[in-house]
Structure 1
Amino acid sequence: MEDVQPLHALSGQIAQLDRLNPQLIERLRHEALTAPAPWKAEYGEYQSGGWWTTSLMNASGEADDVKIGDCVARPTALLESMPATAALLAELGLSYMWVRLARLEANAFLWEHRDYDELDHVERHRLHIPLHTNSSAFLVTGGAKVHMGGGRIWRLTPTYAHGVCNLLGPDRIHLIADVYANDAYQRLARQGQLPPSAAESLPDASPAVLADKVAAARRLANLGYVDAAEQLLLRLFYSFALPEGTTYDLIAQLHTALGDAEASTRWVEAKSKLLALTS
């Protein structure tokens, strides 16, 4: 398993890029909140529930087509109803693979995972523009949590293990653009950095703390609340700096202790899928 990354190494995983005009951000936010978006829940195995997406650019031109793939993206009818957003995307001059709005509700989680493994092996990057957020919404990667504040374009390297949560709400809405490398992207990314104030190291979890959490999960499972027991362990990723895949290992071990070999195997397989591990 990989070691937790020091904060100074996080800039390879997440960074702030250009600052955007506040009036433009307000127009983008208004469009995102009022556009007739056909929100869809996709990638169910990656989330707790409460994560919704809708497409602005994709292969089909249909806004409810949200399972990303390599393509030459074209605008959807939804983007055509969002002129300020469309103008910004055109102005950036990027080579778009897919552009989405992503909405994460309060008390919702995207579990620890990696992205892009199923796609062609070419250089691509993920850009985030936060449009509607709050301080309890943050991304975890490399043993640190980062609140992606508004007013900027952010770069995320999603081939590193990461997860996202929105603890208290209101909804977190980001514009997410997956782009292929081109000259416009290189110019945009050239000044990327992660200020120390943007990231906070998570505390380590001692064996005693983990044992206590596992014991609490087992009590829940014994009472019949198996889903709650699993979620208790999955949420440790957002509170502690853990070696990669630890929460999945703990859940598999829990089911082994409960005598449910099938569930244990299912979580071992989930770890391999979500973290793109190969044998």
Structure 2
Amino acid sequence: MNHSPDRDPHDVVIGDGRPRPTTLLDQMPATKDFLAGLGLDFMYVRLARLEPHSYLWEHRDYAELYERGRHRLHIPLVTNPSAVLVTAGARVHMATGSLWRLTPSQAHGVRNVTGPDRLHLIADVYTDDAYQELAARPHLRAKDAAELPVMTAADRGRLMGRAGELAALGFVPSAEQVLLRAYYAYALPEGGAYDLITELHANRGADTEAARWEEAKTHLLAR
């Protein structure tokens, strides 16, 4: 469900307004009935697939929309234990059988390490009585979330040492990946993984690359 005038399911522009069913939803009658049964006031609904060995690095979505009476709901259709969301220093596995609320204007990242594909139905909705009724009954099982450990000075030294060695051998993208993945292993401050990469390049004298990652941090985490 989106705002495409020709009901194009590939239109990913999110904006205000009442959406219309896409041509894809016409082929999914069970999903169409399920959405109708929720009784929610939808702004946008889509299927989101995350393939194995995939990462969505720390970012913030649509802060201008979701801090003003709009909410994002995730409905996992297919998932696996390696598919997790990280936010505020905690790792969360969104298991099937539940409807999950995410505040996308809060910094977060997602990974799917081993597969199979993670497939979620994502619904952006407005605040109304039906949403308030759902939101009044939140719960989180203990096994669904785990706090990440704080990075110690020794952890940081080992990580930066490994990344530095890779960069010195010419494997700069691999060095950056090592540091980006630290976001999923440690409770870093917001933008902490990007700061590590900036430091890596500054230590190498690669000022252009350091500036590029500073800009990336600002762009991805803009409020």
State the TM-score bracket (shorter-chain normalisation): over 0.9
Partner of 1:225: 171
Offset of 1:128 from its aligned partner?
A: 0.6
> What CA distance in whole angstroms lies between the structure 2 residues aligned with 1:239 and 1:165?
11
Partner of 2:13: 67
Secondary structure at the aligned position of 1:126 is classed as: strand
Offset of 1:109 from its aligned partner?
A: 0.6
Task: Return 5+ residue gaps in structure 1 as ranges.
Answer: 1-56
Q: Tell me, yes or no, if the aligned pair for 2:46 and 2:123 is still in contact at 8 Å.
A: yes
The reply to whether residue 116 of structure 1 matches residue 66 of structure 2 is no
Which one of 172, 197, 212 corresponds to residue 158 of structure 2? 212
Offset of 1:120 from its aligned partner?
A: 7.7
Secondary structure at the aligned position of 2:99 is classed as: strand
The reply to whether residue 79 of structure 1 matches residue 25 of structure 2 is yes
TM-score by length of 1: 0.76
Partner of 2:146: 200
TM-score by length of 2: 0.95
Q: Tell me, yes or no, if the aligned pair for 1:132 and 1:150 is still in contact at 8 Å.
A: yes
What is the identity, as a one-letter code, of the residue corresponding to 2:17?
C
What is the identity, as a one-letter code, of the residue corresponding to 1:241?
A
CA-to-partner distance for each residue in 1:172-213, whole Å, 9 max, x for gaps? 100000111111111111101222221111111102211211
Partner of 1:173: 119
CA-to-partner distance for each residue in 1:117-152, whole Å, 9 max, x for gaps? 254852111101100011111111111111100011
Partner of 2:191: 245
Which one of 88, 95, 98 corresponds to residue 152 of structure 1? 98
Q: Tell me, yes or no, if the aligned pair for 1:70 and 1:120 is still in contact at 8 Å.
A: no
CA-to-partner distance for each residue in 1:85-136, whole Å, 9 max, x for gaps? 0111111121111111111111111111111125485211110110001111
Secondary structure at the aligned position of 1:242 is classed as: coil
Partner of 1:40: none
Q: Tell me, yes or no, if the aligned pair for 1:147 and 1:199 is still in contact at 8 Å.
A: yes
Partner of 1:58: 2
CA-to-partner distance for each residue in 1:51-91, whole Å, 9 max, x for gaps? xxxxxx11102111123233321110001110010111111
> What CA distance in whole angstroms lies between the structure 2 residues aligned with 1:219 and 1:119?
42
Amino-acid identity (%): 57
Partner of 1:130: 76
Partner of 1:35: none
> What CA distance in whole angstroms lies between the structure 1 residues aligned with 2:78 and 2:48?
10
> What CA distance in whole angstroms lies between the structure 2 residues aligned with 1:151 and 1:119?
27
The reply to whether residue 142 of structure 1 matches residue 127 of structure 2 is no
Task: Return 5+ residue gaps in structure 2 as ranges.
Answer: none
Partner of 2:181: 235
Q: Tell me, yes or no, if the aligned pair for 1:58 and 1:71 is still in contact at 8 Å.
A: no
Partner of 2:214: 268
Gap change, CA 1:91 and 1:242, over 3 Å in 2: same
What is the identity, as a one-letter code, of the residue corresponding to 1:115?
D
CA-to-partner distance for each residue in 1:35-66, whole Å, 9 max, x for gaps? xxxxxxxxxxxxxxxxxxxxxx1110211112
Gap change, CA 1:108 and 1:120, over 3 Å in 2: closer
Secondary structure at the aligned position of 1:175 is classed as: strand
What is the identity, as a one-letter code, of the residue corresponding to 2:178?
L
What is the identity, as a one-letter code, of the residue corresponding to 1:270?
A
The CA RMSD over aligned residues, in Å, is 1.4
CA-to-partner distance for each residue in 1:193-247, whole Å, 9 max, x for gaps? 2222211111111022112111111111121111111111000010111111110
Alignment size in residue pairs: 221
Which one of 93, 99, 103 corresponds to residue 45 of structure 2? 99
Secondary structure at the aligned position of 1:129 is classed as: strand
